[in-house]
């Protein structure tokens, strides 16, 4: 984890208040100060919210460093705001690293609707995380997300990334792997939850057991803020193979190796991921079976495991290093992305997988003239050099009804001079198809003449 990050779980209640003072100051509140820490009267922080017209609004804040905040806390703050001596408008706010209960939310909403009442704002952990990002404060809280400091091992250095690129380049014809090197390398630590599950479900009817599930399964899910998503099979296998070969996140060291380093945050708590994985396994093993009843009639039964049929033996958060390498070849720039660990890697988007002209795959060839990667439909042979050249950069001209391809106009002019000096039979060979057809026609004519003579 970044050394500049603040892990809210590790703070005392007073230390949390100190952090919130800094948060409010960065948010633009004025005259932010802490109330006396003795004889708590329901207000921990006092501050003012500027208004365009009129005197500022006084804001009385109650800080709660806890998992959940219930209605009594909101009621207590409401009373404290009402008795707070301030000549202008005033309102209250409850700030917490956790969440608010439904009764607390309903009470705050009712207070806000009542005419002439003092509004109470609920500032929960999720909002605190979002505001922290906006104001440049890295705030972590296990009450609103998984806090993780373990990762599969990133590449040891840029040479390891270069080797990945050279390996990919070996599949491209005419491309010298030694020329392939990254101009920039970015590392992103992707949040993943790895779980060992056991699904044990029995489905019975009047005729007895008609279906049974007894499966142990390792599940890996992408756990970013967009919501849990199952990983592709190859990435899931990468996580499983490297689960026992991890290291402590060391962002400062990674920044010395790479041009940019980013850590994506876990978007939910461990409990929420457990619930999601349980539902995922229920969906996975749901099936419909056919069975014959005592009356010899065939029936169908939908068999879906219950949540209680799914046990999660272990759940482990871990980061998976994602590498985005940029390289330049001639006039073209390529992006190569892959996931990696100590044991193997998985390519997400290959730099040399597709033709730059049509996106086609299949056998690919490198054009040294412009730096492009090309499929068979977009690669030709340069007439003077005899090397591959792509249809995108080649200079072309027709000779004896046959199109020739050249690196540049200089090579074209050079060939023109050679062509003009060629004897006719040599010129004819510049269009083998036409020359072959001509030979065939002449042969047929000679055969016909011989037939007439005979």
Name the nearest CA neighbour of 7 among 193, 144, 131. 144
- Calculate the CA 357 to chain-centre distance: 27
> Do 6 and 18 contact (CB within 8 A), yes or no?
no
pLDDT value at residue 3:
53
The C-alpha atoms of residue 255 and residue 76 are separated, in whole angstroms, by 47
Looking at residue 209, the DSSP 8-state letter turns out to be E
pLDDT value at residue 303:
97
The CA-atom distances, in angstroms, between 61 and each of 51, 74, 81 are: 18, 11, 9
Tally Cβ neighbours within 10 Å of residue 359.
9
The C-alpha atoms of residue 251 and residue 265 are separated, in whole angstroms, by 14
Looking at residue 177, the DSSP 8-state letter turns out to be G
Looking at residue 149, the DSSP 8-state letter turns out to be -
pLDDT tens, residue order, the chain (454 aa): 555 678 888 888 888 999 999 999 999 999 999 887 554 555 789 999 998 887 899 999 999 998 899 999 999 999 999 888 888 899 999 999 888 999 999 999 998 887 667 899 999 988 998 898 888 888 887 777 788 889 999 999 999 999 999 999 999 999 998 889 999 999 999 999 999 999 999 999 999 999 999 999 889 999 987 878 889 999 999 999 998 899 999 999 999 999 999 998 888 888 889 999 999 999 999 999 999 988 899 999 999 999 999 999 889 999 999 999 999 999 999 999 999 999 999 999 999 999 999 999 889 999 999 999 999 999 999 999 999 999 999 999 988 788 999 999 999 999 999 988 988 777 777 766 544 554 565 566 666 666 666 6
Kindly give the residue spans of alpha helices, DSSP state H, lying in 84-156.
102-113, 125-135
pLDDT value at residue 440:
60
pLDDT value at residue 435:
47
Beta bridge partners of 99: 68
pLDDT value at residue 5:
73
Name the nearest CA neighbour of 329 among 171, 158, 187, 182. 182
pLDDT value at residue 439:
53
Measured in degrees and rounded to the nearest 5, phi and psi for residue 311 equal -115, 140
Tally of residues, the chain: 454
Name the nearest CA neighbour of 385 among 242, 174, 235. 174
Q: Is the dihedral of CA 237, 240, 241, 242 positive or negative?
A: positive
Tally Cβ neighbours within 10 Å of residue 257.
16
pLDDT value at residue 166:
93
Strand pairing of 310-329 and 332-340?
antiparallel
Question: Coil, helix or strand for 271?
Answer: helix
């Amino acid at each position: 984890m970044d050394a500049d990050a603040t892990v809210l779980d590790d703070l005392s209640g007073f230390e949390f208040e100190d952090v919130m003072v800094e948060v409010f100051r960065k948010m633009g509140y004025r005259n932010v100060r802490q109330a006396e820490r003795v004889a708590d009267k329901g207000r921990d922080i006092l501050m003012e919210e500027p208004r365009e017209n009129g005197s500022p609004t006084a804001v009385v804040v109650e800080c709660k460093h806890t998992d959940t905040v219930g209605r009594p806390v909101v009621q207590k703050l409401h009373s404290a705001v009402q008795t707070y001596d301030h000549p202008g408008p005033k309102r209250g706010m409850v700030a917490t690293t956790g969440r608010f209960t439904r009764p607390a939310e309903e009470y705050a909403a009712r207070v806000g609707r009542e005419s002439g009442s003092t509004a109470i704002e609920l500032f929960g952990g999720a909002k605190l995380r979002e505001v922290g990002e906006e104001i440049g404060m890295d705030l972590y809280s296990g009450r609103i997300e998984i806090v993780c400091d373990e990762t599969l091992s990133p590449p040891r250095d840029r040479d390891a990334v270069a080797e990945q690129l050279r390996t990919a380049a070996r599949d491209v014809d005419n491309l010298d792997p030694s020329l392939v090197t990254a101009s920039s390398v970015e590392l992103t630590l992707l949040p993943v939850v790895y779980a060992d599950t056991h699904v044990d479900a029995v489905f019975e009817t009047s005729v007895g057991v008609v279906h049974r599930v007894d499966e142990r399964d390792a599940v890996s899910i992408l756990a970013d803020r967009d919501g849990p998503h199952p990983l592709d099979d190859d990435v899931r296998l990468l996580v499983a193979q490297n689960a026992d070969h991890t290291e402590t996140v060391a962002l400062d060291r990674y920044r010395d190796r790479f041009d940019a380093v980013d850590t994506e945050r876990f978007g939910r708590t461990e409990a929420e991921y457990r619930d999601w994985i349980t539902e995922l396994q229920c969906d996975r093993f749901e099936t419909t079976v056919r069975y014959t009843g005592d009356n010899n009639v065939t029936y169908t039964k939908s068999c879906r495991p219950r949540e209680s049929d799914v046990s999660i033996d272990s759940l482990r958060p871990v980061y998976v290093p994602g590498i985005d390498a940029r390289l330049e070849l001639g006039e073209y720039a390529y992006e190569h992305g892959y996931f990696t660990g100590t044991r193997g890697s998985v390519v997400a988007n290959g730099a040399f997988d597709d033709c730059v002209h049509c996106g086609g795959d299949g056998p690919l060839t490198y054009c040294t003239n412009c730096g492009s990667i090309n499929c068979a439909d977009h690669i030709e042979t340069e007439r003077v050099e005899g090397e591959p050249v792509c249809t995108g950069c080649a200079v072309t001209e027709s000779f004896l009804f046959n199109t020739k391809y050249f690196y540049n106009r200089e090579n074209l002019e050079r060939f023109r001079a050679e062509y003009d000096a060629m004897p006719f039979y040599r010129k004819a060979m510049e269009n083998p198809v036409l020359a072959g057809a001509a030979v065939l026609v002449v042969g047929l004519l000679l055969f016909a003449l011989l037939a007439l003579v005979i």
